[in-house]
Amino acid sequence: MMNSNIEEWMHASDEERAAIHSRWNTENMEGKEIAEQVASLFSNECIYNIDAVNVVNKDGKWCIEAFVVVDDYDNLKGRTNVEFLGFGVIFNSMENFAG
């Protein structure tokens, strides 16, 4: 499942996702399309008011950057190690969204 699609990704185990993610060369944009699709799913399924999502490369891994309304951000800014379908989630205030 090296060049997985979103369906394969969603049905993979956490261990399979981690193994695939670690092999992606994020500098060459490998896996970004899947990360973007997962970010969109996260945006639609999250209980918080997410106004925008981005996919960012953090330390050679794709992460979801979720921009939330200020009130929700105050509750989320201290959360670390949040993951969704194998991708780390970074919460940011909508005030910092550059679009």
Please tell me the pTM assigned to this model.
Answer: 0.87
Average model confidence (pLDDT) across the chain: 89
* Structural domains of the chain ordered from first start: 6-96 (3.30.300)
Q: What is the pLDDT of residues 34-47, one digit of tens each?
A: 999 999 999 999 88
Sign of CA dihedral 10, 15, 19, 21: positive
Residue in 72, 39, 76 with CA at minimum distance from that of residue 57? 39
Alpha helices in the chain (DSSP H): 6-11, 14-23, 32-45, 70-76
Coil, strand, or helix at residue 86?
A: coil
Position with higher pLDDT, 86 vs 76: 86
SS3 44: helix
Q: What is the structure's pLDDT at 36?
A: 97
In this structure, what DSSP letter does residue 42 have? Answer: H
Please state, in angstroms and rounded to a whole number, the distance separating the CA atoms of residues 11 and 69. 31
Mean pLDDT across 67-75: 86
Q: Quick one: which H or E segment has residue 85?
A: none
